[in-house]
Structure 1
Amino acid sequence: MEAEPSTRSEPDEDSVERCPSPPSHRAESPPSRYHTTTKTIHRNTHKVRPALPAFVFEDHLPEHPSSPQNTHSPTDTHSQTHTHSPPVNWSRQADWLLRDCPYSEGVAEHKRGGTCWDCLRFHGDDSDLPFVPVSPSQGLTSADDLSSCDLTRLGFISHIELSTFLLALGVQTKRTRPPRRRTQDCGVFAVPLRLLLENDRKKFPGVKVPVVFQKLLCILEQTGLQTEGILRVPASAARLKYLRRELDRCCGGFDWSAVRQVDAAGLLKLFIRELPTPLLTHTHLSTYRSVLGVSSEVHQVQALQLLSLLLPEENRDTLKALLVFLRKVVSHQDQNRMSLWNVSMVMAPNLFNRPHRGNKRSIARQKEEMEEAVGGAHLVRLMITHQDLLWTVPSFLLSQVRQMNQASNQKRFGLTRAKRRLLRRKNDKTERNQITELCDGVVRVHAPLHAKVSMAVQLDGKMTARDVITRFECDNSSSCLQHLYEVGGNICERRLHPDCVLLDVYKVNPHCDWLIKP
């Protein structure tokens, strides 16, 4: 097996039988699982994007004192793609999402005692069990739920948090110069994702994943999930070269009926390898590799989550579609003989591809490439297993986005520091009075696409977004799925989870408007 396939049109010779076994975490002694770095970091904590459309082609420890008491059962995301999440009994609840303390501060503080609560809690658990998001009363927030303005602020904050987090863990990151790769302006292969989507949206408005990528996944899902060796068995190099040339020449009129599942698997891996900018981007690819230097799997998942929130929107949506498909492949491993580790070993060289220099490689270089392949497979395994967590925005990040929006609004109105201080005190007093009297008050919900365009709704401690949407459904003239949004105030726009409690959202953002739309 080649640790890193070349960028040529020929398929990579994936061979799982000769792949090394996944690194075992259970063989390590408990002290090696915890961090002993003495560096601490002190920080002052006080100091219309549519939903991802469907494919256009058819523990026994006492409760942590800082953990919130609210541990609702995990809820589904807003993605239109159906996924097969394991039941709650076979998963681990990622309740750290509810904490107001950033990941970096938690790591820095636990080093004083030489141990980590999350490491202790999940030490010894099966590493293949996924972490599932725990929904707060304000509802889970995924990256797709935020507007582009909020996503820009989220990326800025996530970058700072990730750098501080890795530094607190003693992990050094470095940037490497991106290699020169061939780029095309037309066709399918070696075309930037952004340009592919611009061309696809001329025919399919609102599409968020390249059409050719969706079609390859559809072919594999319809015909290959139960086929032994899916993604591993290579296709004919000559046939892949021919299909690639035909796709680049006439993508719109391409005859997909002649593409077999083995061809689709080869084209899928070739498409990912030939992207001018890697799916994980040049900017963050080295940081992904540096996550392997983190000894705790809990912190590895947290770092991968921050990295996923940093990806450009088109890269994040394409990666999400790929991980959803890979989880489906693993769910049929009894038929296709592709376990989680096998799938990870096959896909890692395509996501973490590093071009070779020269034809001859020393034994030391070959050993290094094999170690990189195993490390890349470990990261892919984590991303497949915990993919539902990767796109979820932690509470502390969302809170910081709100603070940035609030500060930006005050600065935009040109208020002096003294006036802002007085206005803040007045608003805090007014908000406290409004919150205490809220059970007797109402909010106005606007629904411009409904027959009843506006409705006064009285809030209580049990009113959810689903309850409000249900009141409008009888008058809904549109067949598309509707969502409730909070707009304005200290957020640009956020799509609310159907199970979120509106009273708690109001307490956080009392000056927002409420809007129902797709």
Structure 2
Amino acid sequence: MEPPDRAEDVVVHTITSDPRVAMETYWREVQSIEEEEEEEVEMEETEEERKSVDEEEAWLTEAGLSSLVTGSAPAEEATPPSTEALISTLTRQQAATVRRRLDRYNQTLKSRNRQPIRDVRDVFTQFQGDDEESAERGSDPCATESPPPPCRYHTSTKTIRRSKHPGRAPLPTLLFEDQLTPPAAHTCPATPPVTVSDSRRADWLLRDYPYSEGVAEHRRGGVCWDCLRFHADESGERPFVPVSPSEGLTWADDLSSRDLLSLGYITHIELSTFLLSLGVQIKRTHPLRRRLLRRDSGVFGVPLKFLLDGDRKSSPGIKVPLVLQKMLSVLESSLQTEGLLRVPGSAARLKYLRRELDRCFAGFDWSAVRQVEAAGLLKMFIRELPTPLLTHTHLASYRAVLGISSVFHQVQALQLLSLLLPEAHRETLRVLLVFLRAVVAHQDQNRMSLWNVSMVMAPNLFPAHRHQHGRRQLGGSKAPVLTAQEEMEEAVGGAYLVRLMITHQDLLWTVPNFLLTQVRHMTQASNQVWDSLARTRKKLLQRRRNSNWTQGAELCEGVIRVQAPLHSRVSMAVQLDGQTRARDVTAHFQGHSSSSIRLYEVGGNIAERRLHPDCPLLDVYRVNPHCDWLIKP
């Protein structure tokens, strides 16, 4: 089946008169997966199905508000922000989502004759006058207004007092002319660049208000200017290209683990608020998964985190498993091969190669692996992950994106979901999408169009529901039986999501301006609560490190001190102006090191951020005047 002229047509799942021919590629892939499962594994209920987990408690925990349900913060590798700091950062509409979830949780506890640990009235203040009306509008997505007023942050009974964010000049909408692809541990060759002429500027990344506060008209069925703007040109296939915020383009891997933790909490709340504002409900399901033995060796059926822990012993700093990089290398060597990813390899040969990889990956001979076999191993590796690449937690949310009628808002939702993925899953997905885009770029030779690639990969990223009659789950309950129409809609829907992610992948890892601003607010609020002692110690340590500098020298306004402890030139004062970029500073230190170096923003209202080479430093200085500037790889 040829892809529709407009991406919006895919959402309604238009089906041709002969769906068997149209979906032949998809069903061949599903049949291959099911035959493999019947031979090698048994079906059982997941751990989540055996446990009765309260949905509201799980949601609050994922939002970083576990202290509201357990009374204590979870043990995290990075120090989590305080509950009060997180709540004080939320907008009114985001706060209304949290308040509604906490109300439901408390009602559940009361029905079980249990006393709630924290009452909603102890967490949120009661509005007076106009503020009370605003709170009620925030709790009803149909009554929201866009855009919100500048002072839109909700306050709690323990809100940290802080000065209001100073007004800033309008942010420039600059577009990089080169392809804006995040730095990758593994890149694909021959990927055509995205130019200004065949792309659309995603300047909505520059907005200071959340996505959830800009969709009121869309929900009411009125005039949504964003939808009109991006749909009026009949260019559903043209990708959105990121633009540069005033602080510089920020990707998820530019942030420290502590900032990513804060970003995840805010993004989780914003995604729920955004989907609710669009009238999309997420039904958490517990899909059947294959029973996989817990393994700490081999490569198939092993969690990504375990694979990376083993690979980093020989290759420190890698973000994608070595076995996946090897598979992609074999495939990239012949992107012109006709039917790449679609033509199946020998089942017996794939079983043999899998056993050999599990037995001795380090000594495996990749030169004997053909392209069709590498493609089969790649798809097998993805679908046999104990935790799906898109994770159990977020699979239902990905499918819920199909309920959004606008491609523009669908891309926004996919971006929020991608930022929520664990680092190992996010980096693996990013490398996979870069490879799939390279396959599509050679469709004239390999006959693999964007729609064909999406159809092949959809059942591996979005496990299909069971549709055979008579298939039963454990406990005697019959598995859900899908009609032909439902099967077709599920197939087209999964392929459509893959198609969106391939087309707009450059946006999926970009942190929008409003999320970065909320992370800064949260960090600043947390510092005022528990970081005063740490800041005092930092000043003492900094004085010791700066013993070689002129003692007592005060820097003038607009002058920063750049530190490079790993270089012979350990520091340098830089006078900032409107034209100073991060690359201008690193150029002064590049001659002292053969390795690539970057400029980092450390401390102040953020933990640590790697700056884009084109980042205007004067804007960063104005947003975070008390940060340190550090040069390192």
* TM-based fold match above 0.5: yes
Aligned to 2:608, the other structure's residue is in SS state strand
1:228 counterpart residue number:
338
Secondary structure at the residue paired with 1:342? Answer: helix
| Kept after mapping to 2: 8 A contact 1:40/1:168 | no
In the alignment, which of 201, 213, 229 is matched to residue 105 of structure 1?
Answer: 213
Match of 1:40 in 2: 143
Match of 1:70 among 165, 169, 172: 172
The structure with the largest alpha-carbon Rg is 2
Per the alignment, in what secondary structure is the counterpart of residue 143 of structure 2? Answer: coil
1:480 matched residue in structure 2: 595
Q: How does 1:261-276 map to 2 (within 5 A)?
A: 261-276=371-386
Offset, 1:11 = 10
Judge which range, 98-107 or 79-88, deviates more: 79-88
Distance apart, 1:137 and its partner CA = 2.2
1:339-373 Cα offsets, whole Å, 9 max, x none, are 11111011111000135375658995343222111
Q: How far is 1:450 from its partner?
A: 1.6
Whether the 8 Å contact between 2:521 and 2:605 is mirrored in structure 1 is yes
Q: How does 1:177-216 map to 2 (within 5 A)?
A: 177-181=286-290, 182-183=292-293, 184-216=295-327
SS at match of 1:276: coil
Q: Tell me the distance in 2 between the aligned counterparts of 1:185 and 1:289.
A: 31
Conserved in 2, the CA contact under 8 Å of 1:442 and 1:457? Answer: yes
State the Cα deviation string for residues 424-445 of structure 1 (Å, max 9, x = none): xxxxxxxxxxxxx998541100
Shift of residue 46 of structure 1? 2.9
What does residue 500 of structure 2 align with? 382
Question: Counterpart of 1:434?
Answer: none
Aligned-partner Cα distance in 2 for 1:241–1:234: 13
Structure 2: runs of 5+ lacking an equivalent: 1-23, 39-139, 155-168, 472-479, 534-553
SS in 1 for 2:175: coil
How far does residue 9 in structure 1 lie from its aligned partner after superposition?
A: 7.5
Match of 2:183 among 73, 79, 83: 79
Alignment of 1:247-262 (within 5 A): 247-262=357-372
Counterpart CA distance in 1 for 2:481 and 2:268 is: 37
Alignment of 1:146-161 (within 5 A): 146-161=255-270
* Equivalent of 1:443 in 560, 563, 581: 560
Contact 2:171 2:206 in 1 (8 A): no
CA contact (8 A) 1:486 1:495 kept: yes
Partner secondary structure for residue 90 of structure 1: coil
- Give yes or no for contact 2:219–2:278 (8 Å, CA) kept in 1: no
Residues 411-450 of structure 1: pairs in structure 2 closer than 5 A: 411-413=529-531, 441-450=558-567
Paired residue type of 1:368: E
| 1:3-18 mapped onto 2 (5 Å cutoff) | 4-5=30-31, 7=33, 10=36
Higher relative contact order (CA 8 A, sep 6+): 1
Residue 65 of structure 2 is matched in structure 1 by none
User: Quick check: 1:9–1:237 contact (8 Å CA) kept in 2?
Assistant: no
Q: CA contact under 8 A between 2:466 and 2:481: conserved in structure 1? A: no
d(CA) in 2 for partners of 1:103 and 1:132?
A: 17
Asked whether 1:89 is paired with 2:194, we answer: no
Residue 324 (structure 1) aligned to one of 420, 429, 434: 434
Within the candidate set 431, 441, 454, 2:571 is matched to 454
Describe the shift of the 1:471–1:77 C-alpha distance in structure 2 as closer, same or farther (beyond 3 A). Answer: farther
Secondary structure of the equivalent of 1:516? strand
* C-alpha contact (below 8 Å) 1:10/1:238 kept by paired residues: no
Aligned partners of 2:452, 2:33: CA distance in 1, in Å?
22
1:515 equivalent in alignment to 2:630: yes
**2:343 is paired with a residue of what secondary structure?**
coil
TM-score (norm 2): 0.68
Query: Helix, strand or coil for the counterpart of 1:4?
Result: helix
**Residues of 1 paired with 2:508 and 2:391: CA distance?**
16
CA distance in 2, matches of 1:363, 1:443: 65
Q: Secondary structure at the match of 2:596?
A: coil
Matched to 1:454, the amino acid is S
Instruction: Work out the CA distance in 2 between the residues paired with 1:104 and 1:381.
Output: 24
Change (3 A) 1:337 1:439: farther
Instruction: State the aligned residue count.
Output: 452
> Distance between the aligned counterparts of 1:144 and 1:199, measured in 2?
21
Determine the C-alpha separation between the residues in 1 that align with 2:628 and 2:171: 29
- Residue 406 of structure 2, aligned match among 271, 289, 296: 296
User: CA, structure 1 residues 98+5, in 2 after alignment: closer, same or farther (shift >3 Å)?
Assistant: farther
Q: Deviations over 1:408-466 (max 9, x none)?
A: 00001479xxxxxxxxxxxxxxxxxxxxx998541100112222010011111111101
Give the Cα–Cα distance (whole angstroms) in 1 for the partners of residues 141 and 531 of structure 2: 44
TM-score (norm 1): 0.82
**Letter aligned with residue 341 of structure 2:** L
SS in 1 for 2:174: coil
| 8 Å CA contact 1:7, 1:274 repeated in 2 | no
Is the contact between residue 157 and residue 397 of structure 1 (CA under 8 Å) also seen in structure 2?
Answer: yes
Deviation at 1:110, TM superposition (A): 5.4
Query: CA–CA distance in 1 between the matches of 2:314 and 2:465?
Result: 35
1:492 and 2:613 matched? no
Which residue among 465, 470, 493 is the counterpart of 2:587?
Answer: 470
Q: Is the 8 A contact 1:5 1:349 kept in 2?
A: no
Query: 2: distance between equivalents of 1:306 and 1:438?
Result: 40
Which residue pairs with 2:329 in the alignment?
218
* Equivalent of residue 393 in structure 1, options 505, 511, 527: 511
Residue type of the alignment partner of 1:169: L
Report SS of the residue matched to 1:445: strand
Moved over 6 A (4+): none
Render the CA deviation track for 1:479-500: whole Å, top value 9, x for unaligned. Answer: 2211100000000000001111
Q: Give 2:325's aligned amino acid.
A: Q
Secondary structure, counterpart of 2:569 in structure 1: coil
Which structure 2 residues correspond to residues 105-184 of structure 1 after superposition, within 5 A?
A: 105-108=213-216, 111=219, 114-124=222-232, 125-181=234-290, 182-183=292-293, 184=295
The structural deviation recorded for 1:135 is 0.6
Change (3 A) 1:148 1:413: closer
Contact in 1 for aligned 2:466/2:482 (Cα 8 Å): no
> Distance between the aligned counterparts of 2:285 and 2:374, measured in 1?
32
| SS of equivalent residue, structure 1 residue 235 | coil
Identity %: 69
Q: Which runs of 5+ in 1 are unaligned?
A: 13-36, 48-66, 416-436
RMSD, aligned α-carbons: 2.5
1:10 Cα offset (Å): 4.2
- 1:99–1:395: 8 Å Cα contact kept in structure 2? yes
Q: Which of 446, 453, 463 is equivalent to 1:336? A: 446
Q: Shift in Å at residue 185 of structure 1?
A: 2.5
The aligned amino acid for 1:389 is: L
CA distance in structure 1 between the partners assigned to 2:485 and 2:317 by the alignment: 45
Q: Is the 8 A contact 1:220 1:261 kept in 2?
A: yes
Q: State the 1:100 CA deviation.
A: 0.4
Q: Structure 1 residues 467, 70: CA separation in 2 closer, same or farther (over 3 Å shift)? A: same
Q: Which residue of 2 aligns with 1:351?
A: 461
